[in-house]
Amino acid sequence: MMLMKFESSFALCLAILFAATASRPAFSQEAANAKAPFTLTITGNLKPGDSLHFDFANASQIVRTAGAMVVIAVRKADISDHEITKITRFGNAVGCEFDVRDGSGDPVRQIQPKNEGGSFVMHVGKESMLQPGESDVSSVRLDESFDLSQPGTYTIQAWAHAWDDPKSPIVRSNTLTLIIEPADASAPQ
């Protein structure tokens, strides 16, 4: 009799322990921020006097005219003590996703890319890896994936999973403010 009570109590404790641990996420956001192997930084500004390189020191705001291209550069920096992949399986051609919001904080409508085939970049071999301390810069046209046709203020943030696992925590970039001015805003009056 005593053995049966012990067995049932033991089974109940195991069930409670299993339920408590099963409901917890495998990764916590705090752990991702503290142990993420990389950082993401975005900008849309070119270095002054240099039309070929992006200015990551000036990565808080960009201004474009309605209908103009909105090119965003993403820098992924390996801050770990081991090599990591440049682009994970869970992301677009630049290895991350984008959260684009309008001035009210609502998600901006995604549109079908004008380029029928879409863009896809495949990295293989050693070139696909970042060594500790290295970074990689890729760029993407957001105006081809998001409806940025209306004048206004938008916010853009890149994100990617911390590890090559869709359940892993998310690493987020800085937030970039995009101001779209009316097409005739620069015309003399």
In a domain, 166, yes or no: yes
* Domain carrying residue 32: 27-181
In a domain, 2, yes or no: no
The per-residue pLDDT for range 100-125, each reduced to its tens digit, is 999 999 999 999 866 554 444 444 44
* Residues 154 and 39: beta-carbon distance below 8 Å: no
- The pLDDT assigned to 124 comes to 42
> Which CATH number goes with the domain that contains 85?
2.60.40.2970
The per-residue pLDDT for range 29-63, each reduced to its tens digit, is 444 455 789 999 999 888 887 777 888 888 889 99
In a domain, 73, yes or no: yes
* Residues 28 and 170: beta-carbon distance below 8 Å: no
Total structural domains within the chain: 1
Q: How far apart are CA 56 and CA 45, in angstroms?
A: 8
In a domain, 21, yes or no: no
In a domain, 137, yes or no: yes
In a domain, 69, yes or no: yes
Residue 181's CB is within 10 A of a number of other CB atoms, namely 14
3-class DSSP assignment, residue 174: coil
In a domain, 10, yes or no: no
Higher pLDDT, 30 or 23: 30
* Residues 82 and 132: beta-carbon distance below 8 Å: yes
In a domain, 20, yes or no: no
